[in-house]
Structure 1
């Protein structure tokens, strides 16, 4: 019997394995599942080193969403031979823009005063979800719980790391494995056009755009997202 392939999931900002719960449930019997922890560290390099240590020496499939996608892109650019297949969800490979950095600084200050639950419930969750999912308390509560469990110090550290992230656009064409680029049509953080730009960087990419879905396709449309991942995982390397 052939050894199971490994999938490394990298969560988004202030998220953990709960972000990928539907995908883990669907894939865990057939793959070795590793979820990167992003609570320790203050720079992308540290997060990447910790994730590589967690996944071990073998090659692996790599899935990242939002901040996790930024990290996955940098990891694939730096360690292309380690990554069997690459999936970039709801993300960007470009550097931070000044306006977004200013928003992050304001949120850190508000989080210190009002608490993370307030920030997550009033700012993060509403910006993540498509119009049809704005009142889904299960999704909102999951986003809030993950954020609160990370704490304000991690919120500040992850925010600073994203602000300082590198531009990966020139390095990514060197990655030659199968690539899935997936986004929601109603993602207000990273547009469909930006995801088209990402897909064009790679020689072997597939772009999947989900209608009436926001920034969290893994939770908003788990069955469709799982189907896209299954197709991606079936591609030869």
Structure 2
């Protein structure tokens, strides 16, 4: 019997382990899976250090959005411990000035407001493909994740994202089997940025999922799990 992979999954901003619910179930036969805690620290290096302190000695690593930024920071700190790397709907480049201002505005809004929603219906078209906007089960799960993360953890996450280092220079040093997976219609992080990242990583396979926005693990779970299975089979 083939030995199982140790697989660490990192959620995105305002996301819990439910982001990976379907992959955890679909890959159970080939991987022992844990979900990293990205809610307790104020900086990317500290989040990565906590992940490394709690992870197996050698492990496969997958991160979506903010989780992808954290995965790259893990690769900077301890590349020898990562057997496989998957980055989904994320990037190594800095935020655009518009993205940075949006984060600052969001922090200000949350600090001033009494009620924390995290994700509202008005934000959904930025997160998921238009074909999923009537999927009430999916939308309820997205709202619930944000609610579970809560205000204080969200503020820590946003500050960590604002202060993160640009890690483009280290992409060429990544040597483990790597998957770059993008929703073809991601409005938050356009696929062209993700393709550009894949080009810089010598071992990267780039995959784009059609009719999919920023959350492929939830929007197109079966296809995402299939690509992850293929990725883990690489050596």
1:46 is displaced (CA, Å) by 1.2
TM-score for the superposition, normalised by structure 2:
0.95
1:126 correspondence with 2:118: no
- Alpha-carbon distance in structure 2 between the residues aligned to 1:198 and 1:73: 11
Indicate the residue corresponding to 2:54 in structure 1: 54
Indicate the residue corresponding to 1:187 in structure 2: 186
The answer to whether the Cα contact below 8 Å between 2:59 and 2:83 also exists between their aligned partners in 1 is yes
Indicate the residue corresponding to 1:29 in structure 2: 29
In structure 2, the residue corresponding to 1:101 is in which secondary structure? helix
- Kindly provide the CA deviation profile for residues 48-101 of structure 1, in whole angstroms up to 9, marking residues without a partner as x: 111112213x21111000000011112113321111011000001112222212
- Alpha-carbon distance in structure 2 between the residues aligned to 1:174 and 1:150: 33
Aligned pairs for 1:97-136 (under 5 A) are: 97-112=96-111, 113=113, 115-117=115-117, 119-136=118-135
- Alpha-carbon distance in structure 2 between the residues aligned to 1:123 and 1:158: 21
In structure 2, the residue corresponding to 1:8 is in which secondary structure? strand
The answer to whether the Cα contact below 8 Å between 1:217 and 1:225 also exists between their aligned partners in 2 is yes
Indicate the residue corresponding to 2:147 in structure 1: 148
- Alpha-carbon distance in structure 1 between the residues aligned to 2:61 and 2:122: 29
1:165 correspondence with 2:169: no
RMSD: 1.4
1:179 is displaced (CA, Å) by 0.7
- Alpha-carbon distance in structure 2 between the residues aligned to 1:107 and 1:140: 20
TM-score for the superposition, normalised by structure 1:
0.94
Indicate the residue corresponding to 2:44 in structure 1: 44
- Alpha-carbon distance in structure 1 between the residues aligned to 2:114 and 2:217: 29
- Alpha-carbon distance in structure 2 between the residues aligned to 1:212 and 1:38: 28
The answer to whether the Cα contact below 8 Å between 2:216 and 2:224 also exists between their aligned partners in 1 is yes
- Kindly provide the CA deviation profile for residues 27-64 of structure 1, in whole angstroms up to 9, marking residues without a partner as x: 123311111011201001111111112213x2111100
